Amino acid sequence: MIKLRLKRFGKKREASFRLVATNSTSRRDGRPLEELGFYNPRTKETRLDTEAIRKRLSQGAQPTDTVRSLLEKGGLIEMTVRPGETVGKAKQAAARESAAAEAKKAEAEAKAAEAAAAAEAKAAAEAAAVQSAALEAEEAATEA
């Protein structure tokens, strides 16, 4: 099977890639059947030989995921939603919903704790007022 994949070249830590058509069993940097383009990830520069790529795709060549995204951005193949993306987006939405529910629950618990603390403080203030009134009455009784 023929694959459309990236072949690495360039210096260490300054990689660039050639888009090549190669046999699926050959090495990544092995001799390709045909060079179809160029991609530099640092500058996002992309040059594609559109006619040769279309020819290879019509012959049944399968692009890798990275090459597929480059071809989609270049307008050579139409964008497709892959099943993995759909599942991933559903999981992300579920995670966001559960996080929002947890946040609401935590907020409600915080409000309840705040209300309980306010009620306790109010009760303590009332008890102090009653106690001070009782002390004043006692002092008045002792003075009389």
What is the percent of the chain with per-residue pLDDT over 90, rounded to a whole number? 26
CA distance 21 to 5: 7
Within 13 Å, how many C-alpha atoms sit on residue 98's CB side? 6
- The answer on pLDDT for 30 being more than 80 is no
pLDDT digits (tens, 9 = 90+) for 126-143: 888 888 888 888 888 877
pLDDT digits over 37-78, tens only? 999 989 989 998 889 999 998 989 899 988 998 888 888 887
Thinking of the domain 2-80, which architecture would CATH place it in? 2-Layer Sandwich (3.30)
Q: Residue ranges per domain, the chain? A: 2-80, 81-144
Question: 6 forms bridges with which residues in the sheet?
Answer: 19
Question: What pLDDT sits at residue 144?
Answer: 64
DSSP string covering the chain, please?
A: -EEEEEEEEEETTEEEEEEEEEETTS-TTS--SEEEEEEETTTTEEEE-HHHHHHHHHTT-EE-HHHHHHHHHHTSS-----HHHHHHHHHHHHHHHHHHHHHHHHHHHHHHHHHHHHHHHHHHHHHHHHHHHHHHHHHHHHH-
